[in-house]
Chains A and B, each alone.
Chain A
Amino acid sequence: MNTAIEIRNLQFRYPDGKEALSGVSFSIADGECVGLVGPNGSGKSTLLLHLNGILPEAYPATPNIIIYGKSLSKDTAADIRRDVGLLFQDPDDQLFCPTVFEDVAFGPQQFGLDEEQVRNVVAKALEQTALLGSENRSPHHLSSGEKRRVCLAGVLACEPRVLALDEPTSNLDPRGKRSLIKTLKSIPATKIIATHDLEMVVELCSRTIVLDQGTIIADGPTHQLLGDEQLMLAHGLEKPHILRHIHPH
Chain B
Amino acid sequence: MRHDFLDRYSRLDSPIHRLPTIVKLLGALGVVTASVSVSFTHPWFFVMVAGLLLILSAFTTIPWRFIFGRLVLLEPFALGIALMALLQENGGMLFLAILVKSTLCLLTVILLSNTTPFASLLQTMKRLGVPRLLVTILALMYRYLFVLIDEAERLNRARASRTFSASRTKKWHMLASLIGQLFVRSTERAERIYAAMTARGWK
A161 to B139, CA, bound (A): 30
One digit per residue, 1 when the CB lies within 8 angstroms of any chain B CB and 0 when it does not, for chain A 143-174 equals: 00000000000110010000000000000000
Shortest beta-carbon distance from B136 to chain A in Å: 9
How many A-B residue pairs lie within 8 Å, measured between CB atoms?
Answer: 69
- Tell me which residues across on chain B come within 8 A of A136, comparing CB atoms: 119
Q: Looking at the complex, which one of A86, A95, A99 makes contact with B199 (CB distance below 8 Å)?
A: A86
A19 within 8 A of B: no
Given A98-B139, A140-B147, is A155 in contact with B195 using a C-beta cutoff of 8 Å? no
A49 to B118, CA, bound (A): 32
Given A88-B192, A97-B143, is A141 in contact with B119 using a C-beta cutoff of 8 Å? no
Nearest opposing residue in chain A for B144, CB measure: A96
- Tell me which residues across on chain A come within 8 A of B144, comparing CB atoms: 96
A140 to B118, CA, bound (A): 13
Shortest beta-carbon distance from B124 to chain A in Å: 12
On whether the beta carbons of A96 and B140 are closer than 8 Å, the reply is yes
On whether the beta carbons of B200 and A110 are closer than 8 Å, the reply is yes
- Tell me which residues across on chain A come within 8 A of B119, comparing CB atoms: 98-99, 102, 136, 138
Name the residue in B139, B144, B147, B200 with the highest tally of chain A Cβ atoms < 10 Å from its Cβ: B200
A43 within 8 A of B: no
Q: How large is the interface on A (under 10, 10 to 19, 20 to 34, 35 or more residues)?
A: 20 to 34
Q: Looking at the complex, which one of A82, A98, A155 makes contact with B143 (CB distance below 8 Å)?
A: A98
Shortest beta-carbon distance from B171 to chain A in Å: 29
On whether the beta carbons of A140 and B3 are closer than 8 Å, the reply is yes
Residues of B contacting A: mostly? helix
A26 within 8 A of B: no
One digit per residue, 1 when the CB lies within 8 angstroms of any chain B CB and 0 when it does not, for chain A 85-99 equals: 110101011111111
- Tell me which residues across on chain B come within 8 A of A38, comparing CB atoms: none
On whether the beta carbons of B201 and A158 are closer than 8 Å, the reply is yes
A9 to B113, CA, bound (A): 54
- Tell me which residues across on chain B come within 8 A of A86, comparing CB atoms: 196, 199
Q: Looking at the complex, which one of A96, A97, A111 makes contact with B201 (CB distance below 8 Å)?
A: A111
- Tell me which residues across on chain A come within 8 A of B164, comparing CB atoms: none
B12 within 8 A of A: no
Name the residue in A110, A136, A141 with the highest tally of chain B Cβ atoms < 10 Å from its Cβ: A110
A218 within 8 A of B: no
B42 within 8 A of A: no
B95 within 8 A of A: no
B residues sitting closer than 8 Å to A (CB atoms) are: 3, 118-119, 122, 139-140, 142-144, 146-147, 189, 192-193, 195-203
23 residue pairs A–B, Cβ–Cβ below 8 Å: A49-B195, A54-B195, A81-B198, A82-B201, A88-B192, A92-B147, A94-B193, A94-B196, A96-B139, A97-B139, A98-B142, A99-B119, A106-B197, A106-B200, A106-B202, A107-B200, A107-B201, A110-B201, A110-B203, A140-B3, A140-B143, A154-B200, A155-B200
Q: Besides A81-B198, A97-B139, 11 other CB < 8 A contacts?
A: A54-B198, A54-B199, A78-B203, A86-B199, A92-B147, A96-B144, A96-B196, A106-B200, A136-B119, A140-B146, A141-B3
